[in-house]
Structure 1
Amino acid sequence: MSQDAPVPAPNATTASAGVDAIEWRTSDTLIDYPQALADMEARAAAIAAGKASERVWLLEHPPLYTAGTSADVAELLDPRFPVHDAGRGGRYTYHGPGQRIGYLNLDLGARGKDVRNFVHHLEGWVIDALADFDIAARRAEGRIGIWTDDRDGREAKIGALGIRVRRWVTLHGFAINVDPDLSHFGGIVPCGIADYPVTSIAALGKNASMARLDEALKRHFPAFLARLRRCPTGVEQCETPR
């Protein structure tokens, strides 16, 4: 079952859409990956055609692995769960219960047509949301994703990003580890990075409520959207994406 905003009227335009025009959808049951992918791709096509509003979709998947366009089969160590071709950038990643997935169908045609800028500020949005849990998350030079220090002081990955853009509409998005079974990551080399562990909000000893994370994401979303509008790459007053 899903808690969905009203379906937007056909022919709705996203060219100047603000926060209030973007649909937020939260699914409270596990969504099969092929179903989610088909839904996301259909929505992106409708947005590009001017027939639907932009959308943020928050959900969880049953245990599975996804393979990005750069996936190396040698990094699939133990295919204990179904493996799906994702069509996004990146390598292998794990999705499962206790992990908040955010699929973003946003119109970059109205926001500078700058994919690098989008990824940079997407990272910043997740970092800002995790700060509400007193988690000092950060970017890591040369490694996409969201990083922090685990309870042993090791640098560890707490969030993954994977993006595709079609007709300037985004697909896929982020995965934040709230309280998943971290042993499930052992079937792959997560995102092709073997030298660092993964962690979660719960593993860091924080309150691992999915609802609290959703609230934090929604609270920081307007600032994320505003940065996309005013800070295309190359504009001097904007932070330079890495």
Structure 2
Amino acid sequence: MLPLVPENVEWRSETGRVGYREALDRMTERNRAIAEGTADEMVWLLEHPPVYTAGTSADGAELLDPRFEVVEAGRGGRYTYHGPGQRVGYVMLDLKERGRDVRCFVHALEGWVIATLADIGVESRRSDGRIGIWTRDIDGGEAKIGAIGVRVRRWVTMHGFSVNLAPDLSHFAGIVPCGIEEFGVTSLERLGIDLAPEAFDEALRARFGDFLGALEGKACALP
């Protein structure tokens, strides 16, 4: 039996790819409806065709090779790559009901991803001064395995996180990911873990209650 998700939160896992612009439009509409009280909160897990997305702090000098479409995302942060083999989680929650603390939301979101990765055998962590989820790569160096980027409108969250399951890592070379050029990116596949998107989604779902508990308790961290 799948772990329980509250009735007022829709959990949707896509099996096909969803274009980034389409996803952004649908997420924006859902954000509006949640804020107006006409739709449930939502966690939406999916995969995009290759795309570079620009956050509100994006620096054009960090777009090195625009080999894919570039879309302004409206979230915080700089340039990010999304594509096949990467699992993206869009988290649309009403913070009016969950503490009105954006910093706590971001911290709890990071903790959710870190705890999920630990459950599947990957030790990861936050890093002071560097956005994202970091782990030890096969060469012993530090590398990013997950990205975090959010936006909050009318106290309803948008965007969320992405985790590299088995993407083509060469696609990240078209940008300076999140403005950090001193460190590389890695994936579960590169670390020797073969995990289907559906299995990753189930691992996330198993930790969802902990994530909500951290957020609603304003602990801003997971056990």
Q: TM-score range by the shorter chain?
A: over 0.9
Say if 2:59 is the partner of 1:39.
Answer: no
Q: How many residues align?
A: 218
Residue matched to 1:158: 145
Q: Among residues 200, 208, 215, which one is paired with 1:221 in the alignment?
A: 208
Say if 2:184 is the partner of 1:197.
Answer: yes
- State the Cα distance separating 1:141 from its structure 2 match: 0.6
Q: Among residues 83, 105, 115, which one is paired with 1:128 in the alignment?
A: 115
Q: Among residues 69, 86, 91, which one is paired with 2:56 in the alignment?
A: 69
* Deviations, residues 21-42 of structure 1 (Å, cap 9, x unaligned): 2101111111111100000000
- RMSD over aligned Cα, in angstroms? 1.3
* Secondary structure of the corresponding residue to residue 151 of structure 2: strand
Q: What letter corresponds to residue 117 of structure 2 in structure 1?
A: L
1:41-120 correspondence runs (5 A): 41-120=28-107
* Secondary structure of the corresponding residue to residue 163 of structure 1: strand
Of structures 1 and 2, the larger Rg is shown by 1
The CA distance in 1 between the partners of 2:78 and 2:112, in whole Å, is 22
Calculate the TM-score normalised by the size of structure 2: 0.95
> What are structure 2's unaligned runs of at least 5 residues?
none
Residue matched to 1:176: 163
> What are structure 1's unaligned runs of at least 5 residues?
1-17, 232-237
Calculate the TM-score normalised by the size of structure 1: 0.88
- State the Cα distance separating 1:240 from its structure 2 match: 7.5
Residue matched to 1:15: none
- State the Cα distance separating 1:20 from its structure 2 match: 2.9
* Secondary structure of the corresponding residue to residue 207 of structure 2: helix
- State the Cα distance separating 1:174 from its structure 2 match: 0.4
- State the Cα distance separating 1:221 from its structure 2 match: 0.4
* Deviations, residues 96-143 of structure 1 (Å, cap 9, x unaligned): 000000001100111110000000010000001101121001000111
- State the Cα distance separating 1:83 from its structure 2 match: 0.2
- State the Cα distance separating 1:69 from its structure 2 match: 0.2
* Deviations, residues 180-234 of structure 1 (Å, cap 9, x unaligned): 0000000000000000000001110012221111111000001100111111xxx
Q: What letter corresponds to residue 200 of structure 1 in structure 2?
A: S
